[in-house]
Structure 1
């Protein structure tokens, strides 16, 4: 029996699926792998095309953690870490992740939800959207928006409906207004909204709880899902920890996307989708037809880490990296205030990795950044890359404070200031009629 059949939410999820998603069927071999992991050891399987672990050239993998603890993968455990697994994920990790999500978010009707391990946040984003967004479908997005959304839905000719943001994220009144306008014009209504409410990329905003509640109420009223892409959930710089949309979800509308890339390792390529069971089942079928499952070795490493550390020690790790990135946030703000005074504007980011800088005297930063940035010894991201309509001019710049050293950040912002000043001088020269 398919474990995803249980659904206590009073929603018809078929209305949110694309025709392609509806036509997906499970692969018998993948279902056999799932069965093999759940049957007693007395059952002998000749069904799967698994290679024999004796042929693997690896005999031991040792991992040391920065707290002084370590673990070794060898024998049967190493064999499992190097083998095929069910598409949903490494079964022991799934159990640990379920408990982690329950503690972290306390979602209503938890037994009606499932988790799925994906190969990083972008993989989860891609598969979730492709299960729901078909040709010509509209999708609500915050504006500016993470460019990873555009690269997923552009081939499907989807219609982006941009919703304005302020210093606290998406503005509910603007969301309601756009929906009212579409309804009044008998336009196709959106099935889903993409949102990045904590440490929004690129603006660094954190959405207050009351605003999240307003957006959730609007989603219920207009019957659309919320894809909550939340890689910076534990990297907030506010006094209070933000509440997730999952914690508010009484109707089964939220697809939560977590990533361990920013908080543990980007190279592990591990993310988690948490959603109502029927939605997770649709995405699992997509995985069966693509890369079968997220990397087993990465999943086993994460499982061992979570078992060694436990929930409380993982939260302690998150507190340490919050402090680490907050210091960097404070530094880039300090040097930006020093070097960009009078030529650019920015708000202090409340979470995440990025400083969103606006240059009032420049209509579009694209050519300045992409063509002349390197000659000034500075690489930053042009603002237009983050707009729902990337063809329109944008006077913003995204600068990351995550990886560069303190000295490098200071030099980089100083160089950025010189680049902006040169661009402003060139614009003035053109306005004055000089060649």
Structure 2
């Protein structure tokens, strides 16, 4: 892979921070190193001397005086070394990246931080961007300032439709000027499992088709997969990273849905040359993700190992699967004939289409809150935010089954009132 065609001039111009490079020495140095490089506070002056965190199994993580000094100090930009070691083992166990290209990991402040930096690395003003529509609103917000030329793709209950991708790639030329565009599409953004907002997962056969198209048209795949561990059912679909023989997948993982959203920890896995560019960006922006969060998760992995982490993830997935079933039952009870939906295969969301309402925005943003319910209108997930949308997204992560039932009863009432308003 020649990555130069994918990188923006800004990404190519980034240079290592000398201070950040020296911090690596501080983290891994022998006790005899006399560190006079400066900029590092003396941990003896930190007011925090120990920390104890209780786990749900009754055990505790204890950070003693030496642990807490490390947890509250600067660390390497790519991540706290012991955590990086665990994450590499996890990715190898789950995905076994087959590419002969060297792959690397960088720990980020949540996966969206990594995604934001990746977009700056890969997208110039006016570039083409391939993505399935509807699309995660956070990704659209990242991309809007670049004023991209959107190439929205179609999906169904089995995720992105490969023929939609092929058609978009075949037809983009001459779209604006009637002649071939010199700089064609180069990135494909995917939310492959329990997608936000649709709840769909790309079927395994389609994943192979999509990867072959990425090879044929020389695309980078941005695999944004925060719901990987929230796939419902026994079998998990193969990740695009696990199919990546070329080194054309940049994968974004998150601990937010599994361990804690407040820890703000995610990690990017992919070709070393691309991950290093994200690392250079972090060196001059956030320096590194929270060391305290990284040390806590690192010690959790020390205790749990991979099997323990996967066992915990399975419990979380089972909870959300039951929540999904409760919401689907409430929808069947109250919304049948008013909306249509498909059963989410993972994630946290039920994506619904109002059958008799052309645009849900005013209904939700102006008239839902007085009834003590709130959802998100479909417009929030579209490349054109001004286009009417009959869709809406409900989350089943927080509400109890009782509140889901009450909420959907109120939503049915709201939709009927909206239908009457439209008829006047």
Shorter-chain TM band: over 0.9
Specify the alignment match of 1:84 in structure 2. Answer: 74
Specify the alignment match of 1:6 in structure 2. Answer: none
Residue 131 of structure 2 is aligned to residue 141 of structure 1: yes
Superposed, 1:339-350 pairs within 5 Å as 339-350=334-345
Residue 403 of structure 2 is aligned to residue 408 of structure 1: yes
The size of the alignment, in residue pairs, is 419
Q: Which moves more between the two structures, 233-242 or 395-404? A: 233-242
Listed one character per residue, the Cα deviations across residues 94-122 of structure 1 (whole Å, up to 9, x for unaligned) are 11110011001111147710000000021
Instruction: Give distance in 2, aligned partners of 1:41 and 1:250.
Output: 42
**1:90: Cα distance to partner?**
0.5
Specify the alignment match of 1:186 in structure 2. Answer: 180
Specify the alignment match of 1:216 in structure 2. Answer: 211
Listed one character per residue, the Cα deviations across residues 291-346 of structure 1 (whole Å, up to 9, x for unaligned) are 11111100001101111001001111111111111110000000100000111111
Other structure's SS at 2:34 match: coil
Instruction: Give distance in 2, aligned partners of 1:110 and 1:100.
Output: 19
What stretches of structure 1 move > 6 A for 4+ residues in a row?
A: none
Residue 102 of structure 2 is aligned to residue 112 of structure 1: yes
Other structure's SS at 2:405 match: helix
Residue 84 of structure 2 is aligned to residue 94 of structure 1: yes
Specify the alignment match of 2:242 in structure 1. Answer: 247
- Please list every run of 5 or more consecutive structure 2 residues that lacks an aligned counterpart in the other structure: none
Specify the alignment match of 1:287 in structure 2. Answer: 282
Superposed, 1:192-203 pairs within 5 Å as 192-203=187-198
Residue 60 of structure 2 is aligned to residue 65 of structure 1: no
Superposed, 1:272-421 pairs within 5 Å as 272-421=267-416
Instruction: Give distance in 2, aligned partners of 1:55 and 1:38.
Output: 22
**1:36: Cα distance to partner?**
2.6
Task: Give the 3 Å change call, closer, same or farther, for CA 103–330 of structure 1 in structure 2.
Answer: same
Q: Which moves more between the two structures, 208-217 or 35-44? A: 35-44
Listed one character per residue, the Cα deviations across residues 333-387 of structure 1 (whole Å, up to 9, x for unaligned) are 0010000011111101000000001002111100000011111211000011011
Other structure's SS at 1:268 match: coil
Conserved in 2, the CA contact under 8 Å of 1:53 and 1:79? yes
Other structure's SS at 2:205 match: helix
**1:32: Cα distance to partner?**
0.6
Specify the alignment match of 1:7 in structure 2. Answer: none
Task: Give the 3 Å change call, closer, same or farther, for CA 111–20 of structure 1 in structure 2.
Answer: closer
Conserved in 2, the CA contact under 8 Å of 1:359 and 1:396? yes
Other structure's SS at 2:229 match: coil
Q: Which moves more between the two structures, 342-351 or 177-186? A: 177-186
Other structure's SS at 2:228 match: coil
Specify the alignment match of 1:14 in structure 2. Answer: 4
Task: Give the 3 Å change call, closer, same or farther, for CA 100–378 of structure 1 in structure 2.
Answer: same
TM-score (normalised: structure 1): 0.94
Instruction: Give distance in 2, aligned partners of 1:280 and 1:376.
Output: 47
Other structure's SS at 1:114 match: strand
1:267 aligned to which of 258, 262, 267: 262
Conserved in 1, the CA contact under 8 Å of 2:320 and 2:348? yes
Conserved in 2, the CA contact under 8 Å of 1:102 and 1:110? no
Residue 41 of structure 2 is aligned to residue 47 of structure 1: no
2:16 aligned to which of 23, 26, 29: 26
